[in-house]
Structure 1
């Protein structure tokens, strides 16, 4: 199957050099604007140590006045008009398999500003899951796309925020009836307790949904939680710290590569401050090398600070001694999630 990339000017060194220079010049122009006294990154840097709600409030003008964004997108389009093989210096996020995606406009510490696009899908099914991430967010709707918004809320106690969260005692998710999404509105969310999902409301007249999303996600002992919308039931828990999430992805990759020599990295992560990260690392180690995991799993079953991690470790460790159909001890183990 042919592709536009089949026509990339591999043999035209002058054209490729001109593209690289044009991209570098545009990147330098944007960087200078962002780091100037009144620039976006300068504004964000001043709020590095501010409470999340304060940072959101101070940065709201960047969502309300989008002249700077229009200028940036016009410059990117001009770059592409000059040469369709040029790559504007904008980092993309998401967008796989036709799903939601966007552009990272600023990313500094716990603060990120993105331009998000949710493609319209005729007769698309309503989302079945909603996710709560510790932090704050402001969502400014640039084009509602004729969509409906469903607001979701869950109760989180101060003790849970301080590290006492357990799946057993998690409050159920409550969902409000859908209401029309409105172009120009700004949603302010405590994302540990509030989330939203969007669904098509006009099967024929619907459009893509476009919005700016400003998030502040400082380190938190409260995990990311996913809920089934229909039942309100908690379905999944994962580490909320970005560094923990990155390490979890790395461990999963190492496990898929069969890197048993990397077992010490898995063991080190089982001592993480984040209980979800500890258990994720242990699950991956059990899948990678059950024999190496066994003593650490036994220790976790006895001494882990979190009761549900201890219980999961104990249940998983018990599977090591579960008789196989042949009557012999099994060295494999079903992962308890």
Structure 2
């Protein structure tokens, strides 16, 4: 493996690296305590549930894109200057890049976040689907332009949705607002580069996020809008992939609390890990007429017994496995 001489030298000079990182963090903190102080104070209120209209500093950013641009410039100019002096430092702001979209999360508080999004013409690939996730978003186009689909969710069925679509070009100086789960946008083509300042807030009780194919409206993916519940779902799936049979009783308990989506995912993993524990939990669900999953559980139970008749005896005898 080739190691650049600068990196090799840095490995032997940890003090220099710490100083570089401190310098970048100082730029960020100076911005937060100076130019952005009032905005970030209101971000805290907004994240706790205050209305957008009750946050004048935030409103000003999306009433006049010039103010939004000044806020971002006040951070990025000194940050880039500091980075040029410390090229091996790490910008102390959460960031990510994927498929032509770069995101910098400038700040977050409670349910609210303030972020900069940069779309690249060369790398960006338009999506064939759209995700309706709910919440509230305000966007100010700082630089560039793009052709955009404005999407509205008209009706949802079990495995599909009716979506209204209009296409237009958005340009620097424009502001956009999306409220609720029924509205979102999809980027078609970026002209050069487009940079957006976004203020977002999740709902107090997040609804499921649903991704639909734009061609025919079919449901492609459904996920919990709650980070906590999504985390529990991923843990259940991980336990299943690891083959942790000892986790089956825990998964069985998970079938009794949380959203229907999480409970059913836990049920699937429990059945796969331990047929006895899983089938008992499935029978409990099927036998509770007031449970929204009762009919689905009953149908699966009947299907499993038809395929594996020995399962019918599991309610009476211990699982031989």
TM-score, with normalisation over the residues of structure 1?
0.76
Q: Flag the 1:153–1:77 CA change in 2: closer, same or farther, 3 A.
A: same
Aligned residue in 1 for 2:265:
280
1:120 aligns with 2:110: no
Cα deviation, residue 130, structure 1: 0.8
Where 1:210 maps in the other structure, the secondary structure is: strand
Q: What stretches of structure 2 of length at least 5 have no aligned partner?
A: 313-321
Aligned residue in 2 for 1:219:
204
Q: Flag the 1:258–1:189 CA change in 2: closer, same or farther, 3 A.
A: same
Cα contact 1:153–1:174 (8 A) shared by 2: yes
Give distance in 2, aligned partners of 1:246 and 1:125: 29
- Equivalent residue for 1:207, pick from 192, 200, 221: 192
Cα deviation, residue 138, structure 1: 0.9
Where 1:245 maps in the other structure, the secondary structure is: helix
Aligned pair count?
307
Query: Structure 2 matches for 1:18-167, cutoff 5 A?
Result: 18-33=19-34, 36=37, 38=38, 40-50=39-49, 54=53, 59-63=58-62, 64=65, 65=67, 66-93=69-96, 95-96=97-98, 98-121=99-122, 126-145=126-145, 147-155=146-154, 167=157
| Structure exhibiting the larger radius of gyration computed from Cα positions | 2
Give distance in 1, aligned partners of 2:303 and 2:88: 55
Give distance in 1, aligned partners of 2:193 and 2:4: 25
Cα contact 1:111–1:214 (8 A) shared by 2: yes
Where 2:207 maps in the other structure, the secondary structure is: coil
Cα deviation, residue 315, structure 1: 4.1
TM-score, with normalisation over the residues of structure 2?
0.80
Cα contact 2:270–2:278 (8 A) shared by 1: yes
Note the aligned Cα RMSD (angstroms). 3.4
Cα contact 2:162–2:217 (8 A) shared by 1: yes
Where 1:181 maps in the other structure, the secondary structure is: strand
Cα contact 1:151–1:175 (8 A) shared by 2: yes
- Equivalent residue for 1:299, pick from 273, 284, 292: 284
Cα deviation, residue 249, structure 1: 2.7
* Higher strand fraction (1 or 2): 2
